[in-house]
Structure 1
Amino acid sequence: MNGSALKGRVTADGSSGYPAEPGRYHLYLAWSCPWAQRTAIVRDLKGLREVVTLSYVEDDLGAEGWTFGPRRGPDPVNGFGRLRQAYEATVPGYDGPVSVPALWDRVTGGLVSNDYAAITVDLGTQFEEWGDPEVRLYPPELRAEIDRLNAYLHADLNGGAWEVAMTTTQKGYEAARGRVVAVLDRMERRLATRRFLFGDTITESDVWLWPTLARFDLLDNPLGKISERSLSDFPNLWAYARDLYQRPAFRDTTDFGTFRRDRSSIRRPGPARIEVEPVEADWELPHGRDSVL
């Protein structure tokens, strides 16, 4: 059985079979994974640090997949050495992919979900009894718009940046990097007149955009050779990214060290690529976004 089985949902009223309860759920994450980082950000923004626990696997996939180890610590819930054991404990004979984020339920002794999009929505909307009521990451009146923007960001930017690195033809490379740059330009224009993607409050879409911006100068751009411009060459995006970073939920869930990994071993045949070097940016510079409407 593969990962399609791991689609459970946590609900406030427990109608899904997984009721929202403090201390019941645990997130398995990786510092290096942008999709996992989203869940950590939402957990912190919503004020759920004492409600939903988390731990991290090692930064890189080894021969045995995601493992627990000396750098990021042991599995504090089950004592597993490999994350695959959590999947196998949930689905006997599991032979599908093992991914993060993965949400564990202490009561049933198994995983609820590895659906990164659903996990963030549930954390942001189903724990209202214990979370910060002022944080509305997925408000009903904006959900359709948020879903459309998130789908666009995911296809052409979040996943698109990796697609550029994986291309093996000149035509594919130029098309893929063109899509990524088009998203950056579009978000640059959007953020000229609004502080966050949907106005004056942070939403799910900001959480989706952030991990790619955080990785752009140190990982995605030098790896894929996407653009001659660094993040600082997009003034609105760069100030917006600093505005987010200087908030604990974004700062505390970001480890720039995991983005500085060796890129010299990744040699892909095919297209001639532009020259791009890693850029060390000053994320503590004042962002100046307070006056943006």
Structure 2
Amino acid sequence: MASKITQWVNVTDKTGEFKRQVSSFRDWISNEPGAKYPPEKGRYHLYVSYACPWAHRTLIARKLKGLEDIISFSAVHWHLAEGGWRFPTKGEDVPGENAVPDPIEGHEDFTHLRHVYFESEPEYSARFTVPVLYDKKTKRIVSNESSEILRMIGTGVFDDLVDEKYRGLNLYPQDLQSQIEENHTWMYDLINNGVYKSGFATTAEAYERNVKSLFEALDRVEQELAKPKAGPYYFGKALTEVDIRLYVTLIRFDPVYVQHFKCNLRDIRSGYPNIHLWLRNLYWREPAFKDTTQFEHIKWHYTRSHTNINPLSITPLGPLPDVLPLDEEVPAVKTALSKV
């Protein structure tokens, strides 16, 4: 484990490689008889950060599945310091819906997310990560593994509690499960985690190796999205976990990862036309994506929390706008299209 919360690579690791922590809480909400955590309205709470792509996954799924009145949520402050994620204080002006002090009864004195962790496990000694799926009844963390929270929310576990119009959406449909898992494997390692392995690398060798692999993976996504399809999503007509897990990384790519993590071989808006169109379709045409994307949190968190990368905490103004409209392109792309 690194010696400081904001020290992302262990100082004793001479490879310079960023290695992501394995999640500690791995229980499941289940509608099986006798389940430890059954689906119930109002029982569960999500702690998230708008800045964090891993937490963003769960907010998108929550909205897509119509769970706003079933699972409550709150957002931590965008700044990550030595104490870990903290809750906004009462009266503090923090942008974003539900960026508030810990709203759970009995947590009135909780100032940081770490207090929620210690409530569940007093000897907890790893990172205090988001998202956290919390059970108000037992006062315990159910899960802090984003992929598993996404799976719980995005399938049919809560379908008996939501309006009928939301029950038909399954983000992990049976006929696509093998393809979803195959894509998750390389996308997670090379793209979702690849931007971090590039940005947090402490040696040139580690950085160059990972950034090259990242862009090779983006090339692969671009080729896949260039194929004729009957719908706007990664697999055509079916909106799946793959779209969500890719989106949360790629919506941050141009505003943050290009400059802050030195992922600058190309940007999305001028270098990947098919990814750019897919990304904007999700942002502008699916409210669950746009409404949960909070660019102030995203930009401020990375550029003002990662002082080892950006010691002066100056947040770049561009690119402008954060997301281009569907009918707009950057000048380089306009010029290229005019010549076709």
Structure 1 residues 277 and 81 mapped into 2: Cα distance closer, same or farther (>3 Å)? closer
After superposition, the Cα gap between the structure-2 partners of 1:282 and 1:74, relative to the gap in structure 1 and judged at 3 Å, is closer
Q: Report the counterpart of residue 82 of structure 2 in structure 1.
A: 63
Q: Is 2:320 the partner of 1:280?
A: yes
State how far apart, in whole Å, the 1-side matches of 2:56 and 2:245 are: 9
Decide whether aligned partners of structure 1 residues 223 and 133 sit closer, same or farther in structure 2, where only a CA change above 3 A counts. same
Rate the CA distance shift 1:277–1:74 in 2: closer, same or farther, 3 A: closer
Q: Is 1:129 paired with 2:148?
A: no
Q: CA shift at 1:4, angstroms?
A: 5.3
Matched, 1:205 2:242: yes
Q: Secondary structure, in 3 states, of the residue corresponding to 1:94?
A: coil
Match of 1:272 in 2: none
Hey, what does 1:221 align to over in structure 2?
A: 258
CA distance in 1, matches of 2:22, 2:183: 25
Which of these residues, 255, 280, 289, is aligned with residue 250 of structure 1?
289
Q: 1:76 to 1:277 in 2, by over 3 A?
A: closer
Match of 2:278 among 229, 240, 245: 240
Equivalence for 1:98: 128
- Structure 1 residues 113-148: Cα deviation after superposition (integer angstroms, max 9, x where no partner): 101111110011211113411211011222222122
Structure 1: which 5+ residue stretches go unaligned?
269-275, 289-293
Which of 224, 231, 239 is residue 268 of structure 2 equivalent to? 231
Residues 3 and 230 of structure 1: CA distance in aligned 2, closer, same or farther (over 3 Å): closer
Q: Distance in 2 between matches of 1:113 and 1:156?
A: 24
Shift of 1:168: 3.3
Aligned AA for 1:203?
Answer: T
Q: 1:16 to 1:4 in 2, by over 3 A?
A: farther
TM-score with structure 1 setting the length? 0.88
Deviations 1:207-256 (A, max 9, x none): 10001111111111111222342211211111110111112100111011
Q: Percent identity?
A: 33
- 2:222 alignment partner, one of 173, 188, 194: 188
Determine the C-alpha separation between the residues in 1 that align with 2:22 and 2:187: 23
Instruction: Describe the SS at the equivalent of 1:260.
Output: helix
CA RMSD of aligned residues (A): 2.3
CA distance in 1, matches of 2:291, 2:309: 32
CA distance in 2, matches of 1:82, 1:171: 36
Q: SS in structure 1 opposite 2:74?
A: strand
1:43 equivalenced with 2:81 (yes/no): no
Number of residue-to-residue matches in the alignment: 280
